Chains A and B, each alone.
Chain A
Amino acid sequence: MPDVSGLLPAVTIAIPLLAAVLILITGRHENLRETATIVAALAMLGSVASMLPSILDGGRVTLVLLPMVPGGDLALRVDAFGMVFALTAAALWLLNSFYAIGYMRALQEHAQTRFFFCLAVAIAAAIGIAFSANLLTLFVFYEILTVITYPLVVHIETPEAMKAGRKYLAYLLVGGIFLLAATVLTYILTGTTDFVPGGFLAGSGAALTLQILFGLFLVGFVKAAWMPLHAWLPAAMIAPTPVSAFLHAVAVVTAGVFGIVRVAGWVFGMPLMASLGLGVVLAVIASLTIVTASLFALAEDNLKRRLAYSTVSQLSYILLGVSMLSVAGMTGAMAHIPFHAFMKITLFFVAGAVIVSAGRERISDMKGLGHKMPVTTLMFAAAAIGICGLPPLCGIISKIYLAIGAVEGGMPILLLVLIASAVLNAAYFFPIIYTMLVDRPADPHALDAVSEPPLTMLVPIVLTAVISMLLFFFPSVPFMDLVRIAIGEITTGVVP
């Protein structure tokens, strides 16, 4: 099916922006304000889903918004890979909205209008990244995402939060500069920045130039939190939990890895990356990050921070998949984006539920919580098992592809990384489950007041966990199908 022109991509981005305006206007009337968020989330999910059939038929929806500057118009194009990200973000934004409303109200947080306003603009930016037709458009939305998430990160406004916010901004703005430099360099080399399946850089410059260019891109996508440029992510854990969930699953880090996969598949192309030896570089970075971050996670007692390091580690699975430069590896990388998002958001939801219900953030304080919050704990256990790569959750699917990719790409040593990581994952997750279910608190009455979180929070927790499980049984609907189309696009005629 050919490209069709349509307004839907722009409408999808406009919906949350419109909601953001409504949130500001209705700020004083909480229920009205929250209605705007929920209606927008539903409408956006509907709008994304309505494009799904034509994408699954192999079509693409394109729309040029504005002529901008040399190097690219402000243009949108919805393809299968963009759809993977957009669908994940839209679905999780809906659940996260319910959860955030419950969380913010339960804790009587201040500045909730600002909070929901920023979230709405941020999701618009995330969808913009997913639908970007060229590097320049992607950069524009990428920077907007950086700036608009800052007030979310520093939400509690303590000196500690401001410090974390500065770190967050410093890392991401510096990254943005590198991304801009990479974009401009790409334009200088080729005269275009439009994404082309299979890449368009081949033969446009000396090997060294292209290697440097890839380095610029890699630093540019610092949102992928690869080591040693990961420090902003654990620091950002100071944010309210729905924001952490948003950063880790819905938009921010996802945007980083999305960008790297986009650049690998649609700017460089796998054959060029292989001939430049970039796979090896990426594999080393990814492997070190996976193992080191897991070790860091082991040492963390704060649940949210442990989850943050877990994210750092898991994101590098995606980089690892790209580094293999093989069909299976790329498939695993792409599939891991939605799969990890659904599982990780469950874990963050639970961490937030524990804060709301029991006011605890340290794992060592969570002894016996499982008896007071059985459903929550069960969902946590399920998602944790999924992250470790065990059935019956979707995590195993992407990991199997990664394992195949390691062999296929001629780097069987990466299997060792995968195995080591699985062991480490189990090592930092199972003690949590054990603490919550088996351990008993020192004071038997300490947990008397603790109960399950409000339904607005509990339902999203159950839903994300159940979806993670359903994705194990029906991975094709629709993510694996989309991934297959995307892989088909970037490998047509070229088998690396």
Chain B
Amino acid sequence: MTLIDHLPVLLVAGPIVASLLTLVAGWHDRRLCYPIALAAVLGEFAAALVIFRQVMGGGTVRYDVGGWAPPMGIELVIDTFGGFILATIMLLALMTTLYAFRSVTKEIPTEKTVSFYVIFQVLLAGLIGMTITGDVFNLYVFLEISSIAAYTLISATRKPHAYVASYNYLVLGSIAAGFILLGIGNLYVATGTLNMAELAAMLPGSYDLATVHAAFLFLIIGFSIKAAFFPLHLWLPDAYTESPSAVTVLIATVMAKVSVYALFRFLFSVFTLAYITEIYPVTGVVLLIATIAIVAGAILAIAQDDLKRLLAYSSVSQIGYIMFAVGVANQIALEGGLLHILGHAVMKGCLFMVAGLIIYQTGTARLSELGGIARKMPLSCAAFALAGASMIGIPPTIGFMSKYYLVLGAFEAGLWPYAAVLLVGSLLAAAYIWRFIEIAYFGGHHDEHHRTEIREGPASMLAPALGLSLLCLLLGIFVAVPLEAIGLAVAQLLGGA
């Protein structure tokens, strides 16, 4: 076996080794931490791309950890869906790492930067692990690793509000983990296996067991909390708002998407389309809650004065779009949902980066104090405007494409009223995005003299934000590129693979 064959396990082992390396090197010299972190993430990104190519070229990659075949051993499985998510999250992780350098230097107490980069890698290890594991209990372990790392990172600024936010997340996250563990336990009781493929094969025989239904409900509730699916989103606004900027970007894009991935995994790969639509029909309820999430999240976002909190509630709304796809559960809508996982990660990453830039330069994210900021930070605000247009769904951005697929899917399924709500949701998105645009570009003639000293942020923070905003446009125009993988992934999900 060559090194390439071991890539799956290296993907998980890499960040863990990197985190230990960071710890040792940081002991010696604090300044070594960042280069190691950057090199590690670059390597992981490259590995993710290689695996993704492998998956696209030759189908699902399977790897038995330690050579132990399932059901005894743990199996790592990367299919098209997993590969797609892996590539997406590693792209965002790379961008975040670039962005983090200056942001961390400013926001994190110096003596804590070493621990920051150590835990950063641990978080990545957990998230990558969740994405590529083929074993439900292993997924739970990685989920806990990533969660605990996230609780720590959220409180890294050591501000009182951050502690509260982190604690709230810890409590709700632990409840979620409890649900998930109960669900997994029930599945094991019902089938005697923890391997996803075997579960999928054996579960249909036990579909009438109450144990299985209970497992399903536990899992869906647990992952809904982790994914902040309305109304289980209560931890999210504080966690996103109080985290250091780089952490906000990471948890709002990478971590949020992995939670959604895990939910999709359980819904479609462990359970099946038939189970969630016929045997234990939940899609109708999911669709209803998703539309409520879209509207409620957006309305709450409109009411915010803090830019980061506004974007956080926007995430609550946008998760609704992704869950909308689950509710419709046909090929086109799910393609839209997966496209939105990618699109939302890219645009929300960009928006939070700009919010971080503004905080970095002005020390505030209160909209009422940001009048005319676009004149001082034109590039940052242009990035925001472009990513914001994508959030609203203005063509030809990626945000438009995913919404188009969702609407098309809903129309095809005959769900007219829901499609209408979806469209209304994009109007509400226009309302909250436009609040910032109006203030930044056309507001604040009067306090001009106060803020003459404000300029664009550091290039290392600005470049990733601009890159992601351009990506919003490019991914929209060349939407056929991601769709190639997405189409395949959705077909596999709907086929129960």
Q: Which residues of A contact B (CB under 8 A)?
A: 66-71, 74, 139-140, 143-144, 147, 151, 154, 157, 161-162, 165-166, 169, 173-174, 177, 180-181, 184-185, 187-188
Residue among B392, B395, B420, B427 with most chain A CB within 10 A: B395
Q: A68-B479, A185-B411 are in contact. Are A177 and B394 (CB under 8 A)?
A: no
Expressed in whole angstroms, the Cα–Cα distance for A147 and B408 within the complex equals 23
Decide yes or no whether B478 CB sits under 8 A from chain A.
Answer: yes
> Could you name 16 residue pairs across A and B whose Cβ atoms are closer than 8 Å?
A66-B478, A67-B480, A69-B401, A69-B408, A74-B396, A74-B477, A140-B400, A147-B389, A162-B442, A173-B430, A177-B426, A180-B404, A180-B407, A184-B407, A184-B408, A184-B419
Question: Known: A66-B477, A69-B401, A147-B394. Is A180-B423 also a contact (CB below 8 A)?
Answer: yes
CB under 8 Å from chain A, chain B span 447-490: 477-480
Is B441 positioned at the interface, with any CB of A under 8 Å from its CB?
Answer: yes
Q: Determine which of A66, A70, A181, A187 lies in contact with B420 in the assembled complex, contact meaning CB atoms within 8 Å.
A: A181
- Cα distance, A184 to B423, chains bound together (Å): 12
- A66, A161, A188: the one contacting B412 at CB < 8 Å is A188
B residues within 8 A CB of A180? 404, 407, 423
**By the criterion CB–CB under 8 Å, are A169 and B434 in contact?**
yes
Contact of B396 among A140, A151, A166, A173 (CB under 8 A): A140
The yes or no answer to B445 lying at the interface (CB within 8 A) is yes
CB of A153, distance to nearest CB on chain B (Å): 11
Q: CA–CA, A139 to B457, complex, Å?
A: 36
Q: Verify B442–A154 contact, CB threshold 8 A.
A: yes
What's the Cα separation between A180 and B404 when bound, in Å? 8
Count how many pairs of residues, one from A and one from B, have CB atoms less than 8 Å apart in the complex. 68
Whether B438 sits at the interface, judged by CB under 8 Å, is yes
Given known A-B contacts A69-B479, A162-B442, A181-B419, A144 and B395 have beta carbons under 8 A apart: yes
* B332 within 8 Å of A (CB atoms): yes
The contact size tier of chain B is 20 to 34
What is the bound-complex CA distance between A147 and B442, given in angstroms?
15
Nearest to A174 among chain B residues (CB) is B427
Q: Tell yes or no: B405 within 8 A of A by CB.
A: yes
Specify the chain A residue showing the minimal Cβ separation from B478: A66
- Of B392, B394, B478, chain A has the most CB atoms within 10 Å of the CB of B394
Residues of B232-280 whose CB lies within 8 A of A: none
- Of the listed residues A68, A161, A165, the one surrounded by the most CB atoms of chain B closer than 10 A to its CB is A68
Whether A143 contacts B395 by the Cβ 8 Å rule is yes
Max chain A Cβ within 10 angstroms of own Cβ: one of B392, B407, B442, B477: B442
Docked-complex contact B442 and A140, CB < 8 angstroms: no
Contact of B408 among A139, A144, A187 (CB under 8 A): A187
Contact present for B404 and A184 (CB under 8 Å): yes
Q: Which residues of A contact B445 (CB under 8 A)?
A: 157
Q: Within the assembled complex, what's the spacing in Å between the Cα atoms of A459 and B463?
A: 46
User: When chains A and B are docked, how far (Å) is the Cα of A180 from the Cα of B405?
Assistant: 12
Give chain B residues whose Cβ lies under 8 Å from the Cβ of A157.
Answer: 442, 445
B-side contacts of A144, CB under 8 Å: 394-395
7 closest A-B pairs by CB = A140-B395, A177-B423, A157-B442, A188-B411, A67-B480, A184-B411, A143-B395
Complex-state Cα separation, A185 to B479, whole angstroms: 21
Residues from chain A with Cβ under 8 Å of B396 in the complex: 68, 74, 140
Q: Which residues of B contact A69 (CB under 8 A)?
A: 401, 404-405, 408, 479
In the complex, which residue of chain A has the Cβ closest to the Cβ of B402?
A69
Q: Which chain A positions have C-beta within 8 A of B441?
A: 151
- Report B176-220 CB contacts with A as 1/0, cut-off 8 Å: 000000000000000000000000000000000000000000000
Nearest A residue to B437 via CB reads A150
A158 to chain B minimum Cβ distance, whole angstroms, is 9
Cα–Cα distance between A161 and B389 once the two chains are bound (Å):
21
Contact A181 B423 (CB under 8 A): yes
Give the Cβ gap from B423 to chain A, nearest Cβ, in Å: 4
Contacts of A147 in B (CB 8 A): 389, 394
Q: Which residue of A lies closest to B332 (CB)?
A: A70
B residues less than 8 Å from A74 (CB atoms): 396, 477
Q: Is the CB of B477 within 8 A of A177?
A: no
In the complex, which residues of chain B have a beta carbon less than 8 angstroms from the beta carbon of A177?
423-424, 426-427
B197 to nearest A CB, angstroms?
Answer: 32
Residue of A nearest to B395 (CB): A140
- Determine the distance from Cα of A190 to Cα of B434 in the docked complex, in whole angstroms: 36
Q: How far is A109 from B477 in the complex, measured between Cα atoms in Å?
A: 35
Q: How far is the CA of A174 from the CA of B352 in the complex (A)?
A: 27
Q: Kindly supply a per-residue 1/0 record for chain B positions 24-46, scoring 1 wherever the CB is within 8 Å of any chain A CB and 0 otherwise.
A: 00000000000000000000000
- CA of A109 to CA of B426, assembled, Å: 34
Contact with A along B400-443 (1 / 0, CB 8 A): 11001101100110000001100110110010001000100110
Report the minimal beta-carbon distance from A243 to chain B, rounded to whole angstroms: 15
Chain A residues, Cβ within 8 Å of B395: 139-140, 143-144
Report the separation of the CA atoms of residues A161 and B445 in the bound assembly, to the nearest whole angstrom: 14
Taken together as a complex, chains A and B put the C-alpha atoms of A134 and B415 apart, in Å, by 25
Which chain B residues border A185 with CB–CB below 8 Å?
411
The distance in angstroms between the C-alpha atoms of A181 and B393, with both chains bound, is 13
Are A162 and B408 in touch, CB under 8 angstroms? no
Query: Min CB distance, B205 to chain A, in Å?
Result: 37
Which residue of chain A lies nearest to B430 when distances are taken between CB atoms in the complex? A173
Task: Using known A-B contacts A169-B430, A181-B419, determine if residue A143 contacts B408 with beta carbons closer than 8 Å.
Answer: no
Contacting residues, chain B, for A174 (C-beta < 8 A): 427
Check A173 against B427 for contact (C-beta < 8 Å): yes
CA of A74 to CA of B389, assembled, Å: 19
A376 CB, min distance to chain B CBs, angstroms: 32
Contacts A66-B478, A161-B442, A185-B411 supplied; 8 other A-B pairs, CB < 8 Å? A68-B480, A144-B395, A154-B442, A157-B442, A162-B438, A166-B434, A180-B407, A180-B423
The residues of A that contact B332 with a CB separation of less than 8 Å are 70
Nearest-neighbour CB distance to chain B for A210, whole angstroms, equals 15
CA distance A187 to B396 in the complex (A): 18
Q: Which residues of B contact A68 (CB under 8 A)?
A: 396, 401, 479-480
Identity of the chain A residue whose Cβ is nearest the Cβ of B382 in the assembled complex: A24
* A188: B residues at CB distance < 8 A: 408, 411-412
CA distance A178 to B193 in the complex (A): 50
A135 to chain B, nearest CB (A): 12
Chain A residues whose CB sits within 8 angstroms of the CB of B426 once the complex forms = 177
* Complex alpha-carbon distance, A185 and B412, angstroms: 9
Report the Cα distance A184→B389, complex, angstroms.
Answer: 20
- Give Cα A187–Cα B430 distance, bound, in whole angstroms: 25
Q: How far is the CB of B478 from chain A (nearest CB, A)?
A: 7
**Distance in angstroms between the alpha carbons of A485 and B377 in the assembled complex:** 51
* Separation of A184 and B479 alpha carbons in the complex (Å): 18
| Residues on the A chain within 8 Å of B405, using CB | 69
**Chain A residues with CB under 8 A of B478:** 66
- Complex Cα–Cα for A456 and B441 (A): 30
Residues in chain A near residue B480, CB distance under 8 A: 66-68
Among residues of B, the one whose C-beta sits closest to the C-beta of A66 is: B477
CA A143 to CA B427, docked complex, whole Å: 13
- Closest-by-CB residue of A relative to B375 is A111
